[in-house]
Chain A
Amino acid sequence: MSATPHSDYRAQLETLWEHDALKIVAVIGAIYLIYAAIGLVLGYSLDGIINTLRRMTYLIAVYGMVTLALNLHWGYTGLFNIGIAGFMAIGLYATMMLAKPADPSGAAQYSGLGLPVPIAIVGGVVIAGLAGLVVALPALRLRADYFAITTIAFAEIVRLGVTSGALQEFTVLGAELGTGGGRGLIRNYGDPMNAIFELGAFSSFVDLTNSLFGFGPTQARALAYSIVLVLVLAGFYWLIQRTSRSPFGRVLKAIREDEEAAQSLGKNTNRFKIKVFVLGCALMGLAGILWRFRRTGVTPTAFRPHVTFYIWIALIIGGAGSNTGSVLGSGLFVAILFEGPQYLRRVIDQVVAVDDAPNTFAGAVGPLLSADPAPLVRYTFDEFLTLQFVIMGVALILLMQRRPEGLLGHREETAAAIPLGSRPSGAGTGGSGGGGSRGGGNSSGGNSNDTGDDPGTGVDHNRTHGHSNSASTDAPDHDHDIEPRTTTDATSETSETSETNETTHTGGEKP
């Protein structure tokens, strides 16, 4: 059974690949390498290349966060939320309204509550979560498609609401607030990242980036911001991994698979759905805040349904149901569909001098009659940003047709707090003391004894449906007393098992 060194190496690689974090680093690292390599070949300056990568990091981190939250909704629970942009908008707008100074001065026309930025962020997250609750309470019992329509209508209500002139300025409980209408809000308070930027250690970071990449302070700040976002993304990942790899996550999956069956197994599915929807919406709100809170302001156009569309593509690329896939999906989405076309365009622009394009499609197509495709090519090139959306749409169609389970194949993470898998050794022979009880416990004891011909009922097969001794004593959640049990006759059962195994097999295999 000696393996060749080659296959050994390969097996090692495969086990490495099993580590999710590594997978993420590998794929995103590969993307960065490609981008950097192209930049180097074309002789871009180092700070330009790093800047491109920084921008990508920022996008991947933010989209990754939202995709993870959406995975919680759709991938795990089957809640068809296409109102993502709305929850992100609520988070950001709420934060800005809370953080803006109470008495407006100068260009910053609208007043806020003047709260410190960290509190404003928490407030924004909470308000986004509450918005989720408002939607969830009535809407969760709707069919998936109706739920989808409700969420997108909600998102559009939010967007139209903040755009409308009527809410431009309003008063709540004596506090003057405003959404700024179509022109949006100006951030007339300090950079929310100042808490970090004003640290003493940060100046050495600025020096470091200056000596390494020739960055100025602004670029250094942007880089630090991206790094912080990556850390937050890691936090999101951790949180959602924990959430999904747990009994809680197991119920979520069960709801997605068959809600009625989950209910008949004792799960109050509505409670789970509300909890997870609120959590996801709060996280979407946080991602919305982090996405744009450093900008000089916010306008409603940022929250067009496009954002929702991006996140869905990212989720489907990575494969719904997988947290790792969500992060990978947003990486691939940003690299290939979001930044890719624009980068490509820049590259082409630099390599070949593209002539002026015709102004209209007619001007581009007309020369085709005389077999001159150049104007069409130039027009296409000119309109590349438009075509990018077409490409995204087509990509989504193709994904749904060919790989609905995601580019990376169907991968789902097991919903349990511990690794499941083959039976832990030592167990299974009843060694741990096949104690157990009919969980419902006492009340039934009397009942069954009356009819059962065997008063010692529950002994023989306790192991099948009761706790082991240690389990029963450790579990504090049982409100029934657990009677001590005799040890199960393990041997008799094992022999029985082996005897009947074959029949089960044949029986089992028949469809």
Chain B
Amino acid sequence: MSTVDDAVTRGRNLTVEQLLLLAVGTGALLLVGDLILGVFDGTYNISRIGRYVMQGVLYGLIIGLAGIGLSMTYSILNFANFAHGDTITVGAFIGWGGTYLIGGWGAASIGHLALVGPQRGIGGPQFGISVMSTPIAIFGGLLLAGVGTALLAVLIDRLAYKPMRGSDGIPLLITSIGVAFALRYLIVFVYSSQSRGTTASVPSADLLLVDGYVSIDAHDGTLIAAAAALMIGVHLLLQRTKLGKAMRAMSDNKDLALVTGIPTERVIRWTWMIGGGLAGSAGYLMVLWTGTIDWQFGWLLLLLIFAAVILGGIGSIYGAIFGGLVIGVTMHMSMIWLPGGDFTTITAFLMMILVLLIRPSGLFGGKTTA
């Protein structure tokens, strides 16, 4: 229905789209022009812009990393998974439970550690957890977050989505909203709704940038390294293995894939595992980076991830990464004009809506690359 629909309306609404595009393009040009002028006449501080870009890239890496999984399930299983955000939260809790157990062994009861320190005042900062002092705990936690969430994603698929295999995207989407709520409040049930700090402070380096400093700390560095490694890993996995080929085939045409003997159920399982694993890792890294964990940060990330995935074109992992970076940087750059940070999220959502309206197939035209 929808594809033919697109065909019907595409031609006629071209002018509307072009007008919108023109407006957006003009707006973007004006902003860039203002930015350049502002930099020259000193209204805008270069190091401040540098800090925004830095923060934006780091944030964008998390969004992009989490977006890969969403993009994969969106294109292979053909539905927008609204539970993806809460999968991220679960991953973070599982992983940080592991980190606490390793890094804080003996400092508190096992239960308290596994639950990421639900009681105030006995947590990561007190145990001195950081990538410098307890690198094994961090690495172990990241691993646990990935593996645990991968398994959880498969479990959720078994319970929630598998019975509905074959129904189209909308019922699955509604189901995923149910999954999202169930997951989110299970997190509260198990881990409590207390927001808590997780890491001790780490040394940072100040880089001189023209008129000021941009500081980068060890956790920023860890985030960049881990995200890059995971992204390259997924790239290799999908390019070099038969699995990647099967996934591409399935996202192109599921029926055809079935006929040609691709074990679709197995591919679906792997899709959930890879997507879930990346989501959990992204959640873990997010907590490492911000130093706090709470029960709804994943849900709040979800729409940003959607924005990234749509921007980059559904089905493309590189698109998701790129989209994440664009969203992250744009969000932070918006603070140049809209100070206070109240509007960063709004900016990202507006961007997503504009992309949907102007170019629903994403910036790269929606070609499935992986």
Same assembly: yes
Contact check, A360 vs B349: say whether CB atoms are below 8 A apart: no
Question: Which 6 pairs of residues, A with B, have the shortest CB-CB distance?
Answer: A362-B111, A393-B182, A396-B178, A164-B342, A393-B181, A389-B185
Contact check, A156 vs B303: say whether CB atoms are below 8 A apart: yes
Contact check, A165 vs B179: say whether CB atoms are below 8 A apart: no
Q: Does B219 contact A (CB under 8 A)?
A: no
- The smallest C-beta distance from A172 to any residue of chain B, in angstroms, reads 18
Number of interface residues of A (CB under 8 A): 54
- 9 further A-B contacts with Cβ under 8 Å, apart from A361-B111, A387-B185, are A143-B5, A149-B310, A154-B353, A260-B5, A260-B8, A309-B181, A312-B177, A393-B178, A399-B178
- The smallest C-beta distance from A221 to any residue of chain B, in angstroms, reads 34
| Complexed CA–CA distance, A395 and B303 (Å) | 24
Contact check, A312 vs B163: say whether CB atoms are below 8 A apart: no
Closest residue of chain A to B184 (Cβ to Cβ) is A389
Contact A138-B357, Cβ < 8 Å, known A149-B352, A259-B1, A365-B111: yes
Q: Can you name 6 A-B residue pairings with CB atoms under 8 Å?
A: A154-B349, A359-B118, A359-B119, A366-B111, A392-B178, A404-B171
Contact check, A160 vs B178: say whether CB atoms are below 8 A apart: no
- The smallest C-beta distance from A145 to any residue of chain B, in angstroms, reads 5
Q: Does B63 contact A (CB under 8 A)?
A: no
- The smallest C-beta distance from B130 to any residue of chain A, in angstroms, reads 24
A149 touches which of B171, B342, B356 (Cβ 8 Å): B356
Q: Does A397 contact B (CB under 8 A)?
A: yes
- The smallest C-beta distance from A365 to any residue of chain B, in angstroms, reads 7
Closest residue of chain A to B178 (Cβ to Cβ) is A396
Closest residue of chain B to A313 (Cβ to Cβ) is B178
Contact A156-B345, Cβ < 8 Å, known A362-B109, A387-B185, A393-B185: yes
Q: Does B160 contact A (CB under 8 A)?
A: yes
Contact check, A149 vs B8: say whether CB atoms are below 8 A apart: no
Tell me which residues from 157 to 204 in chain A have a Cβ below 8 Å from any Cβ of chain B: 157, 160-161, 163-166
Closest residue of chain B to A366 (Cβ to Cβ) is B111
Contact check, B352 vs A396: say whether CB atoms are below 8 A apart: no
| Complexed CA–CA distance, A148 and B8 (Å) | 20
Residues of A within 8 A of B160 (CB): 397, 401
Q: Does B180 contact A (CB under 8 A)?
A: yes
B112 touches which of A138, A362, A386 (Cβ 8 Å): A362
Closest residue of chain A to B350 (Cβ to Cβ) is A157
The segment out of B25-33, B188-196, B272-280, B328-336 that lies at the interface is: B188-196
Tell me which residues from 165 to 181 in chain B have a Cβ below 8 Å from any Cβ of chain A: 167, 169-171, 173-175, 177-181
- The smallest C-beta distance from A487 to any residue of chain B, in angstroms, reads 43
Tell me which residues from 2 to 49 in chain B have a Cβ below 8 Å from any Cβ of chain A: 2, 4-6, 8-9, 13, 16, 20
Contact check, B191 vs A361: say whether CB atoms are below 8 A apart: yes
Residues of A within 8 A of B360 (CB): 142-143, 146
Contact A165-B342, Cβ < 8 Å, known A138-B357, A360-B192, A400-B164: yes
Contact check, B178 vs A361: say whether CB atoms are below 8 A apart: no
Closest residue of chain A to B352 (Cβ to Cβ) is A153
Residues of A within 8 A of B2 (CB): 143-144
- The smallest C-beta distance from A389 to any residue of chain B, in angstroms, reads 4
Contact check, A401 vs B163: say whether CB atoms are below 8 A apart: yes
- The smallest C-beta distance from B216 to any residue of chain A, in angstroms, reads 29
Closest residue of chain A to B159 (Cβ to Cβ) is A397
Q: Does B318 contact A (CB under 8 A)?
A: no
Q: Does A150 contact B (CB under 8 A)?
A: yes
Closest residue of chain B to A379 (Cβ to Cβ) is B189
Residues of A within 8 A of B284 (CB): none
Contact check, B170 vs A144: say whether CB atoms are below 8 A apart: yes
B356 touches which of A142, A309, A363 (Cβ 8 Å): A142
- The smallest C-beta distance from A297 to any residue of chain B, in angstroms, reads 21
Contact check, A149 vs B80: say whether CB atoms are below 8 A apart: yes
Closest residue of chain A to B163 (Cβ to Cβ) is A401
Contact check, A393 vs B179: say whether CB atoms are below 8 A apart: yes
- The smallest C-beta distance from A361 to any residue of chain B, in angstroms, reads 5
Contact check, B306 vs A149: say whether CB atoms are below 8 A apart: yes
